Every structure is written in C-alpha cells, then in structure tokens.
Structure 1
Amino acid sequence: MPKISVIIPVYKVERYLDACVASVAGQTYADLEIILVDDGSPDNCPALCDAWAKKDARIKVIHRPNGGLSAARNSGLDIAVGEFIAFVDSDDRLEPDVLQKAWETKQKTNAELVIFNLVCTDTENCELLEPDYTVFPDEVIAPAEFWSRLFGLDGIGNYYVSAWNKLYPASMFSELRYAVGKRYEDMFILPGIIDQCKTIACMSYQGYRYTQRPGSIMNQGNPRNYLDHSEFLLEWTKYFTHKGDALRAEGLLNDAIANLAEKDRFDLSTPAQQQRYRTACRACADAYCNLAHRTGKRSMLLRAALLRLGLPAYRVFLQHKSA
C-alpha cells in the first residue's frame, strides 16, 4: 500500500497539466499513489492523463462527468488507498522535496495535520514578491492557536485554509467530504478537519508553487458577492457555538448577517437562488437562538426574533441601538 495518495483534480488545464504531474511524479519521496481526476475536461486533458498513467504505474486516472472541484476531490478520496492524503491543483506545482519534508515533519512531531508553506507564481512559473508568505515559521500549534492565527491574518490566510498545502491522515476523510457545488469548499470542510487534531505542524518551507492566473475560481470576484460566503460563515458559527466560543461565533454570525443585508450583491434571478437566500436568513435567526440558549443572554433572543421578521427590521433595530 502506498504511503501517500496525491489527488489532482483536472479541468481545462492543458497548458499546465504536464508540469504539475511531473512535479508530483518526481518527488524525492516516491512511495506515492497519484490519482488524476479528469472532471469532464473538454480539452486534451483526458488524453494527457491517460498518457501519464501509461508512463508511471503509480498513476491512476478517473474520468468522470463535470461536477466541479469538490466532486473531483471526493472521487479521488473514494478510491485512495494511501495512509495519508495530499491534494494538488492541476495548474500548480510542487518543489521536488516537499512531500519528503512534510513526511519527516509528521514523523518528528506526530502532529495530526502538517501544513507546508507556499509561494505564488505567475503563469510562467516565476515567483511573485507579493503576497509574502515568508512570515510563517516552523511551529507546532494546538487547534485554538490555529484559529487565532487564521483570524489574525489579512490576505494570506489561505496558508491555513487551502486544501492543497497539507498532509492529512486518510482517516480524517472517513466521514468527511468536500461540499459539492460550493465555492470556498475548503472553508466548509475546515472545522471538520481541525476538530480531529490535537496538534498541527506548520512548516516555513515554501514547497507548494501556487499559480496565480486569470479565470481561476479564486480570481472570480469578491467572495461577498456569493451566497456561499454567508453559508460557510453560518457553518463556522455553528461550530464555534458548539465549542463554547460564543464571542467568535457571534462575530462570524454578525459578518454573515451584514453580508446578507447587502442583498443587491447576490444573483437572485432564479427561484433556487431566492430560496437559498431565504434559508440563509432564517439560519441567522436560528444561530442567534442557539447562542442565546448557550449563553443565557436574553438580548440574543430579541435579535433572533427580529431576524425572523426579516433583515430590514433587524437593520432598523441596529440603527436605533447605535443612535
């Protein structure tokens, strides 16, 4: 059985795919299973995947109808047999020794999760000076410290959040899967990952080369323009409420409410989107009700009741309160 299964979702990356797979196949840590998930790519990527499988016996290929990044990752997880899991996006590359270093860090620290650092590159694989990820040290932290560091960052939080710069035990995914059809899928799954950790090993080594390119999912506008943003904030609110961190939960909830109040941001042109919006608004009221029961604060019950009347009524309350 291979020690590490590396899952690479593939979609419309013909220009980048060979370099990506070569960077994984050429790792100094060779005990790998490499799973290429062709997510119904309409270009030459399916043929490139099959060609790689013929060249390297460690490579498996899944051809599936297009379902998005989460569905592709889940398909890879469904067949992975490695003891550990790593993800690589198919327009990115790995430094030749990053999996070796991540494995050695795992052995040294016995942390449940290992995070390796990244460097941003342009489409020609030239390193970019900004954003600067050299600020991350080698350290071993507890989940509480993980969240404190994440919430204290501005602009480079993907070091902690992204799926692709980490080495996971495969057992973490025994009941977890990525949210299909959602943007920011890494955000939705993150609490479930961190909840399984006692310690997290963070590496300063910039072993993941993250390509910044126009048209990628992460470059498609302001996150606050998508309902997925409010939805993951509500999921995180539930998580921190359950953990007893009412202050952080309320902060996340208020951010979700503020985002939903900017109704004109969202595409609500279909009944399905309108229903999603209404569901998220109701979830805000439910979240405040949950917090009230956890904290005993009656003022939170008032907020929940006003939210059930609708965001306009709640905003009037806030304006009156701050006057």
Structure 2
Amino acid sequence: MSNPIVSVIVPVHNAEKYLEQCLESILGQTLGDIEVICVNDRSTDGSAVILDSFAEKDPRLSILQSPGLGAGGARNIGLRAAKGKYLSFLDADDFFEPDMLEAAVEQAEKDGSDIVVYGSWVYDTVKQSNRQAKWRLQVDRLPPECPFKPLDISDRLFDVFGNDAWNKLFRASLLRENNLLFQEISRTNDLFFTCKALTRARLISVIDRCFAHYRVATKTSLQSTNDRDPLSFLKAYDALYSYLESSDLLSQYEETFVNHLVDGICTNVSSVHTMDSVSLIKEAVVASVEPKHQILGQRQELVHSEAQLTEYESLIKDDIPTFLFKQTVSLRAQLEDSYWYTDWCDWKRWTLENETNEHREQIEELRQDLAERERELDDLKATFAVRARNKVLAAKAHLSRQ
C-alpha cells in the first residue's frame, strides 16, 4: 500500500494468546486507509502462523522479521519501513476501540498537531475488567486551550501523559526530522522516545476519551520481565537527561524531569518482586542517581509529590527491611483511606437514592394532583358546555314564541 494515512506498527513476541484480538481491533478500525506492520521478534509460539493467516486475508498487513532485538528494536524496524503520514505504535497483547485512529487523525488534521494523546483503560486479564488509567492522561493538569505547545506545560510535560507510545498518534515527519528511535533495552524502551518527541512537537492535542485497552496480568507483557533487568529503566532516564543537557533544554524541562525520575524510581521499586531487585535499585540510586541529580539537595523543592519524595529519601537512607516496613505502613494507610472513600461513595449513593426516591414520590404526587385538576377542568368544561347549550336552546325557544 502506498502512502496510507496511518502506519500501525506492532512488535510481536510470543503473543499468540492475544494476537488475534489485537489484530482484529486494528484491521477493524473505522479508518480504513492504514497499513499494519507487524514485526515478529523471534516468536517461538504460534504467533507467526496467526500473522500469516491475517496477512493472507488482508493486504494492508505486512510482516517483517526482527532478530530478537526486543520491543524497542522491533518498533524501529517497523518505523523505518512505515509510509504513513502518521504513526501509531501498538502492542500485540492489547486491543483498541474501533474509532481510535479515525478520531486521532481527525484531531491532528484539525489542529495541525504533531502528537495526539488519548485516554486508555487498564484491562486485567485475570479479572477480565477495565479501569481507567487516569495517570496516563491527567487532563486536570493540562491547559484549557487545545492544542498547546510543550513549553506551556514545561514543568509537568513528562508527567501528565505517561511514557507509553501506544496512547499517542505521532506525525511521521516529527520523528524523522528529529531522528527519533526507540532504545533497544529490555524495559522502558519508549520513555526516551516519547519524552523527546514531546519536547520536539510544535503542537500537542488531547482527546479526553479512552481508546486503548492496555492488558496487564499476562506473561507476554514487559511487566513480567521487571526482575530480569531491574535497572533497565535507569538507562532510559540517563538517555533523556543527556539529550536535555546536550540540546540546552535542561533549564526548561528540569522540573518535569526530576519529578519523572522520582516517580520512575518509586514505581519500579514497587513493581519488582524480589529483595535482590530492590537492593539493586537502592544501590544504583545511592551510587549514581542521587550524586548526579542531587534530588535530596538542591532539587528537593522541585518534587511535587511529598509522598514520593519521602519514599525516595527512605530508599536512600534506610536499610532494606526498614524501607519495606515503611512501604507496608504507607500501603496500609492508603488501603484504609480507600476503605473510607469506598464507604463515603456507598453513603453518597444511598443519599442520592433516597433523594431520588423522594423526588419520585413528589413527582407521583404532582402527577396525581395534575390528573385530578384535569378531571376537574373536564367537569367544568362539560358543565359550561351544558349551560351554554341550554342557554342557546332557551334563546331559540324565546325567539320562536315571538
């Protein structure tokens, strides 16, 4: 296919369980002028058979091969081959609302924007349910005007959208003019790519609607590799910092970088499952991150979240058992807060239900009163009609006697 409006790039690695649903959700998009580039990254399951089956049925889908470069490298292979005016990077175990691409392209064309960001759901495979991923699109922290420039939110640019490439549509010329590629690292390979793209965009648009369903609780997702390479995410932050520094952008985006880094450390410590992984992250932060960025020193006032700053400080200063104990206490407090909030929601619902029932009763009383008055009015009309008829008859009788 020559010059489609959107090129959709999908890295595939052992995703046979979810791949069909993913491809159906892409090929079934209401925007038909697309090419779908699936990059098979040395899958050893039935993914290749599924890809071949879909490619036979739909010429818009093409298959490229990757020699085991990981998701970042596979995306780069697809990026170099893409012909579309816009690029969309989707994961093989996720699925999407049917009008996602049409709505994003329409917004980009309308605004002349380089990036369109939209909302997403987190889909739990075990629970088979969605919840809204509000942290990936924090609309309450965005300017009221849309589109906007990156510098309009320079203090929070990296924090309000998430690192993910799959909840964004990119103008292809933006990526090529700035030589934007994904890092070929085991995890967090899209952080540097996405954050650099955000700083280079002329205009950014937002659609406050959930289009993507990000699947969790699977063995194919990169979430499952957290403990294999727990320090991989720090390579992404190092690359982002070096880029900002070499491009003379650090002064403009220092605040959002610091907050993004602290959030990334706290998030990754919470996502690993072994004491060894926590220890490795702690050692790296103490030996490298804090000496380089001095977050507890001169940059402490830049951190927006007091809770994350406290957690970061505990990771550096406390031993591992004490740090984990404080984490447990904090989680217990958050759980207790969630109980209170849940109870408040139940109370509020009960109150609204009672008010609704009262209003229904009032409406029913008013309806009955209206019906009674209508009956009275009908009676008056009937009486008036009888009287009027009698008067007419009487008048006619009088005239006939004369």
Q: Does 1:90 align with 2:92?
A: yes
Displacement of 1:282 in angstroms is 6.4
Unpaired runs of 5+ in structure 1? 269-276, 293-313, 316-323
2:79 to 77, 80, 96: 77
Percent identity (aligned): 27
Post-superposition Cα deviations, 1:73-132, rounded to whole Å, max 9, x if no partner, equal 011112111111001111111111111100111122111100121112232794423655
Aligned position for 2:230: 226
User: Equivalents in 1 of 2:258, 2:13: separation in Å?
Assistant: 38
Aligned position for 1:26: 28
- Report 1:1-323 matches (<5 A): 1-123=3-125, 126-129=128-131, 131-132=133-134, 136=139, 139-146=146-153, 148-149=155-156, 159-174=161-176, 175-220=179-224, 226-241=230-245, 242-243=248-249, 244-245=251-252, 246-247=254-255, 265=277
User: Equivalents in 2 of 1:123, 1:193: separation in Å?
Assistant: 31
Displacement of 1:32 in angstroms is 0.4
Cα distance change of structure 1 residues 119 and 56 upon mapping to structure 2, 3 Å threshold: same
RMSD after superposition? 4.0
Amino acid at match of 1:167: L
| 1:111 match: secondary structure | coil
CA contact (8 A) 1:85 1:170 kept: yes
| Higher RCO (CA < 8 A, seq sep 6+) | 1
Question: When the two structures are superposed, what TM-score results if normalisation uses the length of structure 2?
Answer: 0.59
User: Equivalents in 2 of 1:23, 1:58: separation in Å?
Assistant: 14
Amino acid at match of 1:23: S
Cα distance change of structure 1 residues 256 and 71 upon mapping to structure 2, 3 Å threshold: closer
Unpaired runs of 5+ in structure 2? 268-274, 299-315, 318-402
| 2:39 match: secondary structure | strand
Question: When the two structures are superposed, what TM-score results if normalisation uses the length of structure 1?
Answer: 0.72
CA contact (8 A) 2:116 2:206 kept: yes
Cα distance change of structure 1 residues 266 and 202 upon mapping to structure 2, 3 Å threshold: same
- Count residues in correspondence: 280
Cα distance change of structure 1 residues 238 and 150 upon mapping to structure 2, 3 Å threshold: same
